[in-house]
Structure 1
Amino acid sequence: MRTAIFGDIHANLEALDAVLADAAEQKVEKFVCLGDIVGYNADPAACLKKIQEMDIPTVKGNHDHDASENHSLDSMNPIAATALQWTRDQLDDDQRLWLKRLRMVRQVTDFTIVHSTLDQPLHWNYVTNRFDAMSNFSYQFTQLCFHGHTHVPRVYMKSDKVQEVPAESVSIEADAKYFVNVGSVGQPRDGDWRACYCIYDHEEKLLTFRRVEYDIETTREKILAANLPPMLADRLLDGR
């Protein structure tokens, strides 16, 4: 079985469609979403509807959480806050309730999924190096755990020690655990503008990271047409 694992869609419909099309070409059989379906970009309702219709295992991201609640956004980065308030206005009550009810952590077949971290999933902490990853392994009871949140694909491996291995093609070793960031569909931040996701081949015990081109100009035009902050359109080109 081959499972496509993706997250941080951030209301980028063109990128989501491109990833789903690429996954179909790769003969993927199952799909899993790591959250942050909404936020930043201009198609929150359409992206959410697509994930709902797919009826796939999904966990809650911080933007999903903020879009589904009514708390103040004053402490947030102003650009993100502006986009989130706009996002709240685009979603109906049923959509916001669906986001609100998403779980923070789930086990799917033989692996675990979370948006940020296993040790404190509601704190939305970032894992940017092997030291950040160390505390997660104490809470990881499956060999594989997939997460997102930083928008940068990374693989942390624990055997006799915790180390980072290249996020390319990773063969799963029997005596090791892996904490895997699958990158971002809708707003990559590793300098590569293309949408990023991961395929897990259960039988081959292999992780493969995919980069997919999409109609970025249409996405950028939608952001500007919605009067969202222009910086959100510009950063897509830079992959930052």
Structure 2
Amino acid sequence: MKMALFSDIHANLEALESVLSDARSQGCDQFACLGDIVGYAADPVACLKIVRDLGCPVVRGNHDEGAASESPLEELNPLAQKALLWTREQLSEEQRVWLLGLKLVRRVREFTLVHATLDSPGNWGYVTNCFDATASFSYQTTQVCFYGHTHVPRIFEKCGAVCDVTTEDIVLRRGVQYFVNVGSTGQPRDGDWRAAYAIHDTEAQTLSIRRVAYDIGTTRAKIRAAGLPPSLGRGSF
């Protein structure tokens, strides 16, 4: 089985469509979404429909929660606040209920899905280094856990000590645990504007991070037309 895992779509329809097209061309027949379907860009409803139509496992992200609830947004940056206030006006009550009903952590087959951290998934902490990853490994019961939230693809492994490994293709080793950031589909933050996602080949026991170009011009035009801050269309932060 080949599974495509994507995160942080952030209402970027063009990026999501390109990722799904590329994943299918790579032979992926299963999908999983690690949260933050909405927020930032201008197609929250369309992106929600696509993810829901996939019928795939989904976990809740902080922007999903912010858009679907009436909770204060002071902890988010001003751009995120503006985008979420706009997104709240686009979503139906049924869509809000669906988003809030998503679990924070899910186990799917032999691996785990979470948006942020395993040690406190609802506090929306960031895993950016080995120290952060160690806390999540303490709660990880499967060999592999996939996460997002930082918008930067990264792979941590635990074999005694925790270390940061390459994000190129890797072969899973017996007795080693992996905490894998699949990057961001809709708004990468590593200097590469292309959409990111991961492929997990369960038969070959491999993990790979892929980057896919998309029509960023259309995404930018939609952001401007919606009255959202134009800087949200930069593509990579």
Moved more, 56-65 or 70-79: 70-79
Q: What is aligned with 1:46?
A: 46
SS in 2 for 1:58: coil
- Residue type matched to 1:84 in 2? L
Q: Runs of 5+ in structure 1 lacking a partner?
A: none
| Map 1:19-168 → 2, pairs under 5 A | 19-168=19-168
SS in 1 for 2:145: strand
* CA positional deviation for 1:29: 1.1
* CA positional deviation for 1:68: 0.8
- Residue type matched to 1:78 in 2? P
Q: 1:183 to 1:75 in 2, by over 3 A?
A: closer
- Residue type matched to 1:145 in 2? C
Moved more, 167-176 or 74-83: 74-83
Between the aligned partners of 2:94 and 2:212, the Cα distance in structure 1 is 31
Q: 1:157 to 1:74 in 2, by over 3 A?
A: closer
SS in 1 for 2:102: coil
- Residue type matched to 1:212 in 2? V
Q: What is aligned with 1:228?
A: 228
Between the aligned partners of 1:223 and 1:180, the Cα distance in structure 2 is 30
SS in 2 for 1:179: strand
| Map 1:202-217 → 2, pairs under 5 A | 202-217=202-217
Between the aligned partners of 1:148 and 1:65, the Cα distance in structure 2 is 15
- Residue type matched to 2:6 in 1? F
* CA positional deviation for 1:42: 0.3
Are 1:7 and 2:3 counterparts?
no
* CA positional deviation for 1:75: 4.0
* CA positional deviation for 1:147: 0.1
* CA positional deviation for 1:155: 0.2
SS in 2 for 1:72: coil
Q: Runs of 5+ in structure 2 lacking a partner?
A: none
Between the aligned partners of 1:73 and 1:132, the Cα distance in structure 2 is 24
Aligned residue pairs, count: 237
Between the aligned partners of 1:75 and 1:126, the Cα distance in structure 2 is 14
Moved over 6 A (4+): none
Between the aligned partners of 1:126 and 1:132, the Cα distance in structure 2 is 7
- Residue type matched to 1:53 in 2? D
Q: What is aligned with 1:190?
A: 190
TM-score normalised over the length of structure 1? 0.97
TM-score normalised over the length of structure 2? 0.99
1:102-134: per-residue Cα shift (whole Å, max 9, x none)?
000000011000000000000000011111100
SS in 1 for 2:126: coil
